[in-house]
Amino acid sequence: MAILDAYPKRYCPVCDHVVGRTFKPGPGGRPDARCPRCKGLERHRFFAILVDTLRPALGRVDVLLDIAPYPLMTDILATLEPRLHVRLDLGLDHRLVDVLADLTALPCADDSVDLVLCYHVLEHVPDDRQAMRELARVLSPHGIGLLQVPIRFGTVTDEDPTVDEDERTARFGQADHVRFYGDDFEARLEECGLSFQRVTPIELLGEQMCDWLKLSPSEPVWVVRSGLDRAGVHLRSSYLPALLDGILDRMATHREERERARFRIQHLLRRVESQTGAPVRRTVGDRLLHR
């Protein structure tokens, strides 16, 4: 039995709703990408799952630094109920922020931030190593950073890159300076004092769940901490993909049982109508058939 064929609807963890058979097209016409309710894309859905997965490791979040905030992700971060949620940006567009500052000179004390979000920002910073050093400086001993950059494994970081038009329109606006990172990105993190764990949707959730949620299975997020000698956050689990596949399998079974029940109801209604020669009041039947 094909699990996803048997349960075709999609779940969006950003807005916590089951939506229609497919998501809407994304930037550049990418199919099955955008939730029709909240407009979240693949990276937003994985981010929502990642934040929930990290809750036990994060504990009580005192200071949260949200760099170049994006409304959907800011809303997800708000569920952590931080004491202080600081939205920071350079001020080159119309983002709603609390502080205008440069990522290479953060106005934060050393070891003061419990959680940093920095998605698709470093590639715009000419001196990205200084920005990474600043992230390492401000993260508290138990603090965690979530980083994402456009990356092409098997290459070396391009210091004078271009980005394809669809991706620029979708994520970056008309930025003058954008780089794609290569295999040396992780060496840069370590060079600047950040330990890391690379996490991908398929590693954390398994193939079936990635397909159902319509995630980009191999698009990584780096979970970073300040200091190379500190223990990382271990997110991989050998049993979680199997558990999630089991949940999808059970959902498919429930759907099949419901379809069989619908068929039985339709058959009984037709028999009653043929025997009585009159239409049956379908208030209850219709309710069951169209759930």
Read off the pLDDT of residues 137-179 as tens digits, 9 standing for 90 and up: 999 999 999 999 999 988 888 775 454 545 544 444 444 568 8
At residue 144, the pLDDT reads 94
* Residue-level pLDDT at 252: 61
Which residue stretches of the chain have pLDDT < 50? 1, 161, 163, 165, 168-175, 239, 243, 285, 288
At 61 the pLDDT is 95
Residue 123 is predicted with a pLDDT of 93
Reference 53, options 146, 129, 155; nearest CA is: 146
pLDDT at 236: 57
pLDDT value for 237: 54
pLDDT at position 94: 84
CA–chain centroid gap for 53, Å, is 11
Please give the pLDDT value at position 168: 44
Q: Are 205 and 49 in contact (CB under 8 A)?
A: yes
pLDDT at 172: 42
The C-alpha atoms of residue 73 and residue 26 are separated, in whole angstroms, by: 17
pTM above 0.85, yes or no: no
Structure token digits, residue 289: 């058939």
In whole angstroms, give the CA distance from residue 194 to residue 185: 11
Give, for 251, the enclosing helix (H) or strand (E). Answer: helix 240-276
Classify residue 190 by its DSSP letter.
H
